[in-house]
Chains A and B, each alone.
Chain A
Amino acid sequence: MVISLRRKNKHIGSHVVMCIWCLVVLFPIWVLLINSFKTRLTIYTNPFWVPEKWNFGNYSTVFKDGNFLLYFKNSLVVVVLSLALVLIVSSFASFALANWKGKASRRLYLFFIAGMMLPIKIASIKLLEIMRALGLLNTIWSLVPIYVAMGLPIGIFILTEFIREVPRDLTEAAIIDGSSYVRVFTTITIPLTRPALSTVAIYNLIPFWNDLWFPLIFINDEKQKTLLLGVTRLFGQYQTDWSKVLAVLTLSAIPVLALYLCMSKQFIQGVTAGAVKG
């Protein structure tokens, strides 16, 4: 009786709560989008509704002056390279840590995992010195090794757990057939762990793409700026013209947002991966 009553419940209260929050989320995004198509002054006279005359000039200005495309390219290079390195390096390590039984293996695993809790920002002063010594300061290459180190703990955590679940018979059969471990790794383990690899990539994509801290403290050179660092510069430049600022913000948010809207399930699963087993 109780259960059948509950089934009929339309959850009106729940829908009200959710709708209010959706408004809280979507209203600022609506403001961001529509006001980027207005002019410097019309955003003040008509703040909330669609522009009377659509103005695409803000976007074309952003592309014309400013190094927007250059910033974009720099970010893309850094993020793609860092993600590739995280995936390669952590899958090698995870393959070893999952197959190698022993105290040393367990300790190494815990040593890596500890990195998930440690915020690397605390080490910034030393990292600044290391990058200066390596001559990488003021280049986008200074960001890559740091992002790799940042991404490794979660990569090793997810991949090791995943590889442990690959049936041992499968690996052993291949070894008995004369395959080397390297072959097992490339032909059996890697194809089987593809879903976990994409989880690791998605988990790290947002912090890499959206990182401001390390570009801010490492890079000064205009030609080497990442997208977000470039956004801070353009913000200063357009400060008196909010419609242009909003165009810059929209353009910088679109890549990850578009990716998210295309594959929101994988995104949500990827970002929450750390908690489910932890």
Chain B
Amino acid sequence: MSKKKNSIIPHGNYWIIYVLPALLFYVVFMAWPLLDSLRLSLFTGNNIATRKFIGFGNFVRLFTEETSRARYWGAFVHTWYFFFIHMLVQNCLGILFAVILTNATMKGRQFYQTVIFIPTTFAVLVTGYLWKLLLNPVWCGDVLSKMHLSFLVRPWLGESTTALTSVALISCWQWMGIPTMMFVAALRNIPEDCIEAADIEGANAWQLFAHVKLPMILPVVGMIAILTFVNNFNAFDVVFATENVNGAPSYSTDLIGTLFYRVGIAGQHPIGIPDTGMGAAIATITFIVLLLGVLPVLKATQREQ
């Protein structure tokens, strides 16, 4: 009897066995590599045996050597621009679509929802290649000119003035479904009587949105801002597919993700040997930027918890 009683609430050590496999995968393939990548930024040399500690040498080189400094700041600024386009286009349209889709009396919502989400199921690579054709002036240039739409015929991905914006908009096209559906879920959670009360008071659609709905979904807005931020600082596939790992044309679409790939993993032209220390330094800065960006937003928007 007493034995049974004990087994009702087993203590710490018993549960460890259940958690152990998860802990093993998580620590060996995520937590430890992440932390050790930070440590590697203080070393130089690609070979484990000949690796040398050089303190902040990689960081100093990254920000003092002329080309690497220019590349890093270029990619850094592009990544922020990429992020702002997503906030502006993807997330603002996402809120608009979500407000429309939560309108209980509107018909065809299920169909619209299904369509909006389709591109999200595609691989970024597939989307990228597809848009590479769509934005190719050679492909439909003649037909568009005949339709008097020749202003659309431009090498959107080939000119450095339009390339980054085009790539960012392609990415927005792809991911639109996620913020939209997250906002839909959040808007559905708003208690019915809040909206009814505002309705009876005679609030118009904009007032209803700005003063009732938006404040109530603020935690989700923060969550999506964070998700967008983290994902964009790691964007790679879309540039890889539509341009190349060099962020063509002339580095105008180079993001932190592509720079990291070239420096730390593939090796840069003309040497072609990766510089793991420098790559780790770029990863470390990204890590710090993400922490600095995520924590305040979390704090500001998740207060209720």
Q: Is A61 an interface residue (CB 8 A)?
A: no
Q: How far is the CB of A202 from chain B (nearest CB, A)?
A: 11
Per-position binary interface string of chain A over residues 166-199, scored 1 when its CB falls under 8 Å from any chain B CB and 0 otherwise: 0000001001101011000000000000000000
Q: Is B66 an interface residue (CB 8 A)?
A: no
Per-position binary interface string of chain B over residues 101-124, scored 1 when its CB falls under 8 Å from any chain A CB and 0 otherwise: 001011010001111111111111
Per-position binary interface string of chain B over residues 285-304, scored 1 when its CB falls under 8 Å from any chain A CB and 0 otherwise: 01100100010000000000
Top 7 A-B pairs, shortest CB-CB distance: A96-B18, A93-B22, A123-B33, A210-B123, A126-B33, A149-B29, A96-B15
Q: Contacts A28-B134, A96-B19 given: A127-B223 contact, CB under 8 Å? A: no
What's the dominant secondary structure at chain B's contact region?
helix
Pairs A–B under 8 Å by Cβ, sample size 29: A2-B200, A3-B199, A18-B112, A25-B118, A25-B173, A28-B130, A31-B133, A35-B133, A89-B25, A96-B15, A108-B19, A111-B31, A118-B34, A124-B37, A124-B283, A125-B283, A149-B28, A152-B26, A212-B124, A217-B265, A228-B123, A242-B133, A249-B129, A256-B121, A260-B117, A261-B114, A264-B113, A268-B177, A271-B120
- Whole-angstrom CA separation of A245 from B241 in the bound complex: 13
Q: Is A224 an interface residue (CB 8 A)?
A: no
- Residues B287 and A92 in contact, CB atoms below 8 Å apart: no
Residues of B within 8 A of A121 (CB): 234, 236, 257, 260
Nearest chain-B residue to A210 (Cβ)? B123
- Whole-angstrom CA separation of A268 from B80 in the bound complex: 28
- Whole-angstrom CA separation of A164 from B36 in the bound complex: 34
Q: Contacts A89-B21, A93-B21 given: A119-B230 contact, CB under 8 Å? A: yes
- Give residues in A with beta carbon < 8 Å to B: 2-3, 6-7, 9, 11, 14-15, 17-18, 21-22, 24-26, 28-29, 31-32, 35, 43-45, 47-48, 85, 88-90, 92-93, 95-97, 99-102, 104-105, 108, 111-112, 115, 117-130, 145-146, 148-150, 152-153, 156, 172, 175-176, 178, 180-181, 206, 209-210, 212-213, 216-217, 228, 231-232, 235, 242, 245-246, 249, 252-253, 256-257, 260-261, 264, 267-268, 271-272, 274-276, 278
Q: How far is the CB of A19 from chain B (nearest CB, A)?
A: 9
Residues of B within 8 A of A44 (CB): 138-140, 142
The stretch of B4-12, B70-78, B157-165, B247-255 that contacts the partner chain: B4-12
Q: How far is the CB of B287 from chain A (nearest CB, A)?
A: 5
- Residues B97 and A18 in contact, CB atoms below 8 Å apart: yes
Nearest chain-B residue to A1 (Cβ)? B202
Q: How far is the CB of A181 from chain B (nearest CB, A)?
A: 7
Count residues of B near A (Cβ-Cβ below 8 Å).
99
- Residues A125 and B19 in contact, CB atoms below 8 Å apart: no
Cβ-defined partner of B123 (8 Å) among A47, A119, A150, A209: A209
Q: Contacts A24-B173, A152-B25, A232-B125 given: A124-B115 contact, CB under 8 Å? A: no
- Residues A125 and B264 in contact, CB atoms below 8 Å apart: yes
- Whole-angstrom CA separation of A32 from B122 in the bound complex: 12
- Whole-angstrom CA separation of A153 from B12 in the bound complex: 21
Q: Is B62 an interface residue (CB 8 A)?
A: no
- Residues B29 and A146 in contact, CB atoms below 8 Å apart: yes
Nearest chain-B residue to A32 (Cβ)? B130
- Residues A149 and B30 in contact, CB atoms below 8 Å apart: yes
Residues of B within 8 A of A148 (CB): 25, 29
Cβ-defined partner of B124 (8 Å) among A31, A149, A210, A257: A210
| Residues 253 to 283 of chain B near chain A (Cβ within 8 Å) | 257, 260-261, 264-265, 276, 279-280, 283
- Whole-angstrom CA separation of A47 from B152 in the bound complex: 15
- Residues A125 and B37 in contact, CB atoms below 8 Å apart: yes
- Whole-angstrom CA separation of A112 from B22 in the bound complex: 9
Residues of B within 8 A of A32 (CB): 130
- Residues A124 and B19 in contact, CB atoms below 8 Å apart: no
Q: Contacts A145-B29, A150-B30, A231-B126 given: A276-B19 contact, CB under 8 Å? A: no
Residues of A within 8 A of B286 (CB): 122
- Residues A145 and B25 in contact, CB atoms below 8 Å apart: yes
Residues of B within 8 A of A210 (CB): 122-125
- Whole-angstrom CA separation of A25 from B170 in the bound complex: 11
- Whole-angstrom CA separation of A172 from B14 in the bound complex: 17
